[in-house]
């Protein structure tokens, strides 16, 4: 094993500062990372809100709405349904009177019949 060098505190701090400056991230990238961090935090907050149990006030509200709906359904079921009116039967359209037979025209070249 290699022996550890005796390094003074001053030199250790200098080395740490040099490494920090070498690893410095551009400002644009920092702002992008902060934006991503903010959006991730927002999604996490939404997920936690979805997972938390309902509060007592929310449960009271849901119970009150359920009681109102139960009362409305009971009232609808208690009310007798109106009987539907019987449908009128449609009459068949009246038959048209038969047309009087028409007198036929004689073919061309024949004399007209008497009485026409």
pLDDT of residue 95: 65
The CA distance from 95 to 98, in Å, is 9
Report whether 106 contacts 113 (CB < 8 A). Answer: yes
pLDDT of residue 83: 76
Percent of the chain with pLDDT over 70: 72
C-alpha dist (Å) from residue 21 to 13, 27, 72, 89: 12, 13, 72, 96
pLDDT of residue 1: 46
pLDDT of residue 109: 65
The CA distance from 115 to 103, in Å, is 11
Give the mean pLDDT of 85-106: 68
Residue 64 confidence (pLDDT) above 50: yes
pLDDT of residue 65: 97
The CA distance from 85 to 87, in Å, is 6
**Weakest mean pLDDT among 6-10, 16-20, 34-38, 59-63:** 6-10
């Amino acid at each position: 094993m290699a022996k550890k060098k005796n390094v003074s505190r001053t030199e250790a701090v200098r080395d740490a500062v040099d490494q920090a400056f070498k690893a410095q991230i551009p400002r644009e990238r920092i702002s992008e990372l902060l934006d991503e961090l903010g959006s991730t935090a927002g999604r996490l907050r939404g997920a936690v809100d979805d997972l938390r149990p309902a509060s007592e006030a929310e449960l009271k509200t849901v119970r009150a709405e359920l009681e109102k709906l139960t009362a409305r359904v009971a009232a609808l079921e208690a009310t007798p349904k109106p009987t539907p009116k019987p449908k009128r039967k449609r009459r068949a359209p009246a038959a048209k009177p038969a047309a009087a037979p028409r007198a036929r025209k004689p073919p061309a070249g024949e004399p007209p019949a008497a009485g026409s």
